[in-house]
Structure 1
Amino acid sequence: MSFGNVNVVLVHGAWADGSSWSKVIDRLSQLNVRAIAAPLPLTSLNDDVAALDRVLERIEGPVVLVGHAYAGAVIGSTRSPNVEALVYVAALAPAEGETVGDVFYRGTTHPQAPQLAPDRHGWIWLPQDAFARAFAQHATPDELAVLSAVQRPISVSCIGEAVGRPLWQDRPSWFLVAAQDRMIDPDTQRFTASRMKAHVRSLEVDHTPIVTAPDAVTEVIVEALRSVSAR
């Protein structure tokens, strides 16, 4: 299987870092696909987009850009000309003028979802027990231990900044709806995927399938890769 010179850039969400993509990176590597995990500071949406753009500037050739959860807002806000397709994984995809918070709080809150509030420094941390209850309820104890150990807080600034015209209005997109998501309402995911006119795959996975269902995530990315490499 060959995808030419198409690259994949993977963008982590809140309470995670690039290591959350390790299983997907391994599977893409087996397909001879070059994958890069872009690090985000999670200090503001503008800062995160700037960090992503610095990664994209270093890449030659077309890019399939993949975002998990909060990172959906980040990948939709880049203007990098080498991005040919977008893949959203259990993600938030604000439309023009919306904030991350607008989309996140649009739907019904799952009864096991954590109560989130910033600390006195303006950082939002995920409570320890929320990893097993809501963030990745299908994860193994070892996976949960790693997710909890590497968690990075997200600044409250990230969720309050309105986005401009999102890139999904100008590029083809794919959306993996996590039907057992306890963090982002699956109905919200379906709504946003529909208005994006994305290629939708709805699967019985939790909020973090990049860890708990990496084969399924890789399959969606490969669909996008096939589309880009065929042009």
Structure 2
Amino acid sequence: MSVGEVNVVLVHGAWADGSSWGKVIHGLKARGMNAIAAALPLTSLGDDVAALNRTLERIDGPVVLAGHAYAGAVIGSVRAENVAALVYVAALAPDEGETVADVFYRGETHPQAPKLAPDSHGLIWLPEDAFAAAFAQHATAQEVQLLAAVQRPIAAACIGEKVARPLWKDRPSWFLVAEEDRMISPATQHFMARRMGAEVHSCEADHAPIVTAAQTVTDLIVKAAQAVLDR
């Protein structure tokens, strides 16, 4: 078997959509891999898990499931049997009984991190200037413009739900720490990765390595896929 026989499902985080994985998708396709970007409604953690499960139901064969940022909580909450490995990219990995907020606010807040609060509809938007200042400070001006233009708000309900036993306790996992992340403390990322027992990699990237360090992300996903084949 080749890595092309392992499927990859990519899951976006808050304030993003599947297009944020564009460079990684192209990189995986170039290596002959089937890559799909799952769409999350970002309305509640339960809704997001259900949406991801619907995507996974459509796929035959083993899956490497990769999540960015908030999506770490989502990929850790599915129970699909075809998920063979998990890849966390600057992602949040709450343990059983924890919420996304518990881990997101665990470390010190970066001075340039935006102040976040829900609007009258219970939705949390990222201020437009935060994309260049904290979300993707290493991105090009064009990339920042696109990220800001397609942003989708996350419901406050998503970050307040306690998670059940996370899948990373039962599947092998890889974790890419973004050492220059201004949204999720790198120290918190290292803490979560160690707690998970993940294979840890790090790079000098901002919060959006899927955009600004796409080759590194692609290489890590391919490594996870190869490990699935080698088992």
TM-score, length-scaled by structure 1: 0.99
Report how many aligned residue pairs link the two structures: 231
- Residue 150 of structure 1 corresponds to 150
The 5 Å alignment of 1:211-222 reads: 211-222=211-222
Q: 1:44-85: per-residue Cα shift (whole Å, max 9, x none)?
A: 000000000000000000000000000000000000000000
Note if contact 1:101-1:160 (Cα within 8 Å) is conserved in structure 2. yes
Aligned to 2:119: 119
Is 1:91 aligned to residue 73 of structure 2? no
Once the two structures are aligned, what percentage of the paired residues are identical? 72
CA RMSD of aligned residues (A): 0.8
Q: Look up the equivalent residue of 2:150 and give its one-letter code.
A: V
Does the 8 Å CA contact 1:10/1:37 hold for their aligned counterparts?
yes
Aligned to 1:141: 141
Runs (4 or more) in structure 1 with deviation over 6 Å come to none
Alignment of 1:92-111 (within 5 A): 92-111=92-111
Contact 1:4 1:229 in 2 (8 A): no
Secondary structure (helix, strand or coil) at the match of 2:181 reads coil
Correspondence 1:170-181 to 2 at 5 A: 170-181=170-181
Write the mapping of 1:40-51 to structure 2, written as runs, cut at 5 A. Answer: 40-51=40-51
Q: In structure 2, how many angstroms separate the alpha carbons of the residues matched to 1:162 and 1:10?
A: 23
Give 5+ residue unaligned stretches, structure 1: none
Distance 1:142 1:3 in 2: 32
**Deviation per residue, 1:104-150 (Å, 9 max, x gap):** 00000000000000000000000010000000000000000100000
1:144-169 Cα offsets, whole Å, 9 max, x none, are: 01000000000000000000000000
**Offset at 1:4?**
4.8
Instruction: Say whether the 8 Å CA contact 2:4–2:34 is kept in structure 1.
Output: no
Q: CA deviation at 1:202?
A: 1.2
Structure 2, gaps ≥5 residues long: none
Q: Is the 8 A contact 1:124 1:155 kept in 2?
A: yes
Deviation at 1:211? 0.5
Task: Work out whether residues 178 and 204 of structure 1, in 8 Å CA contact, stay in contact via their aligned partners in 2.
Answer: yes
The one-letter amino acid paired with 2:71 is: A
User: Residue 62 of structure 1 aligns with which residue?
Assistant: 62
